[in-house]
A and B are shown apart, each in its own frame.
Chain A
């Protein structure tokens, strides 16, 4: 597709379970970002991948959160032992180069019961 694709669009899970969120960036985009938006909040930066460089993980809220980007394309964000405060919309974005505008997917709405 032409845009950033995220799956699933919605995920409901029980507290304590692990979840995996997927992002397919726009083809040819070297930079990939994960953000989350909690209710009533702005977007909060989580992690940033650029090419083969080590990712910027400075936004990950705890060691339960991890992400990887395989082959410089698809990325997965994993949340282990989910907590209720992890409930949010998780948004992925990509850009052709780091300093160019980021294009966002429609997000995954994660609900922890």
Chain B
């Protein structure tokens, strides 16, 4: 049972435009969400996170939005740059105080074109 879903396996966006990556989850016990970026042959790199008590977190060109009622989060990248081309993983964690293992989605491959 896939508790974290990224339904778009790939996304192509022109340089300078906005990239929107989506993620849905089913487990209402998740209280913390993260986005990781992964280049080929490298490990995932932490990008940005959001706690379930917030609905938005912004860091430079990256903004994560959380809609708890819809169990949906999204990552916005604006403006998109060629170096943003990578696989993006959404991850979620159950409430603090329990094991901190992350549950990951299957990833979305973002291609930023010139």
Asked whether A42 and B43 contact (CB < 8 A) given A95-B100, A99-B96, the answer is no
In the assembled complex, which residues on chain B have CB atoms less than 8 Å from the CB atom of A43? 44, 89, 91, 102, 104
In the assembled complex, which residues on chain A have CB atoms less than 8 Å from the CB atom of B93? 99
In the assembled complex, which residues on chain A have CB atoms less than 8 Å from the CB atom of B89? 42-43
Does A65 count as interface, using CB distance less than 8 angstroms?
no
Number of A residues with CB within 8 Å of any CB on chain B: 27
Contact B101 A48 (CB under 8 A): yes
**What total count of A-B pairs have CB within 8 Å?**
60
Number of B residues with CB within 8 Å of any CB on chain A: 25
Contact B42 A42 (CB under 8 A): no
A104 to B43, CA, bound (A): 5
A43 to B88, CA, bound (A): 12
Contact A101 B104 (CB under 8 A): no
Asked whether A106 and B101 contact (CB < 8 A) given A42-B89, A42-B106, the answer is no
A residues within 8 Å of B by Cβ?
4, 31, 33, 35, 40-45, 48, 50, 56, 58-59, 91, 93, 95, 98-99, 101-107
Across the A-B interface, give the 5 residue pairs with the lowest CB-CB distance, nearest first: A104-B43, A42-B104, A98-B100, A43-B104, A45-B101
